[in-house]
């Protein structure tokens, strides 16, 4: 029997390890530099003009994500320069971690000159970077049923059962409301069928009522709402109708008095009271005048020139006068002149403009004391003379 003695292999002493004794991969360094710059994969794609899937493949040391192996060296070096790293050292470390060998366009491992079966990759061997979990910026898609929770299914079932119960209850109540039921009668001896009622109406009723006609019975049992008044046609004209039929006729004296009153001519219309006297305010020299109603509303306000006048409107309550230079203001009531309203150059107020108030407060104006008033009255008198 032959025995083979296998000597144990010496164990290599690695020595003591510290808290930082771990391997730092190229992808961790690149992601750290990119995070320091505050850039995302899409930002790098927009600025470097390289697909985000290629950038993620470089950080994951995955050369299978590239369509053409000849472009890997250029992508890795461009991304290293973008991050501020050494391009050659970065590419060397990428090849070491990914077991990638440098190829060129005419190399046997490239797609252009790849040999048939050994180096060619089938469609099933290709990796989709948007589905593989090592692509950091694209989440893995979830299945449709993975979002369905059992508690949600139970809640939907309870809700459907509740809706069905409420619908069935409503339908049952509606059927009960629409159902017609006849209440039983304790004594049904007084009710006969239709044949018995017909025989009673045809045989017994005519004998007991003494031969009442069918029309009379119909009118007897006809509802009052359907009654139609019976109209009797008149044979004579309307002129033959006596309007005093059923009333006492008027006496002959009353008729003669009415005829006499209609023949007499109508007299002139008479009024109970005479018209109110006309009242006006006029000035013989310029004077300021303001006439206010009883409620304080200003009716008239103006500086009256010499010979200018204002007719006071007739109101329920007498208006009041306030005037400046009151010695030039006079009042005219039905052809009589009263005034002046005050002393020359003085202001008067609260003067009631009514016939009775002016007659009590003022006297008839003296034409000899005011020459302007005399001239004004002469002009008025001249204007009132009839034209020849």
**Residue ranges of the domains in the chain?**
26-125, 279-384
Q: What is the pLDDT of residues 244-256, one digit of tens each?
A: 666 666 666 666 7
Taking a C-beta distance cutoff of 8 angstroms, is the pair 30, 78 a contact? no
198 CB-near residues (< 8 Å, 6+ apart): none
Reading the chain (388 residues) residue by residue, the pLDDT tens digits are 344 444 555 555 555 655 555 678 888 888 889 899 888 889 989 988 888 899 898 888 888 888 888 888 888 999 889 988 898 998 998 998 888 876 555 544 444 333 444 444 444 445 555 555 555 555 556 667 777 788 888 899 999 999 999 999 999 999 888 877 766 666 555 555 544 555 545 554 555 555 667 777 776 766 665 556 666 666 667 767 776 666 666 666 666 776 676 666 655 555 555 666 788 899 999 999 999 998 889 989 989 888 888 988 888 888 999 998 888 899 988 888 888 888 888 899 889 888 888 888 888 888 888 888 888 888 888 776 665 5
> CA 79, CA 44: separation in Å to the nearest integer?
9
Dihedral sign, Cα of residue 184, residue 190, residue 192, residue 197: negative
What is the predicted pLDDT for the residue at 117?
Answer: 40
The first and second tokens of residue 146, run together, are 């993975």
- Nearest 5°: the CA angle 315, 316, 317 is 90
Query: Does 26-125 carry CATH code 3.30.70.1400?
Result: no
- Nearest 5°: the CA angle 11, 12, 18 is 125
Residues facing 208 on adjacent strands: none
What is the predicted pLDDT for the residue at 171?
Answer: 93
What is the predicted pLDDT for the residue at 383?
Answer: 76
Helix H or strand E encompassing 274:
none
Taking a C-beta distance cutoff of 8 angstroms, is the pair 382, 362 a contact? no
User: Nearest 5°: phi and psi at 280?
Assistant: -135, 155
Taking a C-beta distance cutoff of 8 angstroms, is the pair 314, 354 a contact? no
With 0.75 as the threshold, say if the pTM is over it: no
What is the predicted pLDDT for the residue at 369?
Answer: 85
């Amino acid at each position: 029997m032959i025995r083979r003695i296998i000597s144990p292999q010496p164990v290599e002493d690695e020595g003591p390890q510290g808290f930082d004794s771990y391997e730092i991969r190229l992808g961790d360094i690149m992601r750290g530099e990119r995070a320091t710059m505050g850039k995302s994969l899409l930002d790098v794609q927009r600025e470097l003009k390289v697909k985000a899937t290629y950038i993620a493949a470089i950080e994951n040391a995955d050369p299978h994500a590239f369509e053409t192996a000849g472009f890997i060296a250029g992508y890795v070096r461009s991304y290293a320069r973008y991050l501020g790293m050494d391009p050659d050292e970065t590419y060397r470390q990428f090849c070491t971690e990914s077991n990638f060998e440098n190829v060129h366009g005419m190399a046997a491992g490239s797609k252009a000159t790849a040999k048939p079966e050994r180096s060619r990759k089938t469609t099933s061997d290709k990796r989709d970077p948007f589905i593989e979990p090592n692509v950091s910026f694209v989440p893995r898609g979830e299945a449709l049923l993975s979002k369905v929770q059992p508690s949600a299914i139970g809640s939907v079932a309870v809700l459907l059962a509740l809706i069905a119960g409420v619908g069935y209850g409503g339908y049952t109540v509606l059927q009960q409301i629409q159902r017609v039921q006849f209440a039983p009668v304790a004594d049904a001896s007084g009710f006969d069928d239709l044949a018995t009622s017909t025989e009673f109406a045809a045989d017994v009723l005519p004998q007991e009522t003494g031969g009442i006609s069918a029309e009379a019975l119909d009118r007897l049992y006809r509802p009052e709402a359907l009654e139609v008044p019976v109209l009797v046609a008149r044979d004579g004209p309307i002129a033959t109708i006596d309007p005093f039929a059923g009333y006492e006729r008027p006496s002959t004296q009353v008729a003669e008095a009415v005829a006499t009153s209609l023949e007499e001519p109508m007299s002139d219309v008479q009024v109970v009271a005479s018209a109110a006297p006309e009242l006006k305010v006029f000035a013989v020299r310029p004077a300021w005048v303001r006439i206010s109603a009883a409620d304080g509303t200003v009716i008239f306000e103006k500086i009256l020139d010499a010979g200018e006048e204002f007719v006071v409107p007739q109101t329920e309550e007498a208006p009041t006068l306030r005037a400046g230079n009151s010695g030039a203001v006079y009042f005219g009531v039905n052809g009589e002149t009263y005034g002046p309203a005050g002393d020359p150059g003085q202001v008067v107020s609260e003067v009631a403009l009514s016939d009775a108030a002016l007659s009590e407060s003022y006297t008839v104006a003296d034409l000899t004391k005011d020459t302007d008033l005399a001239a004004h009255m002469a002009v008025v008198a001249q204007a009132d003379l009839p034209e020849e």
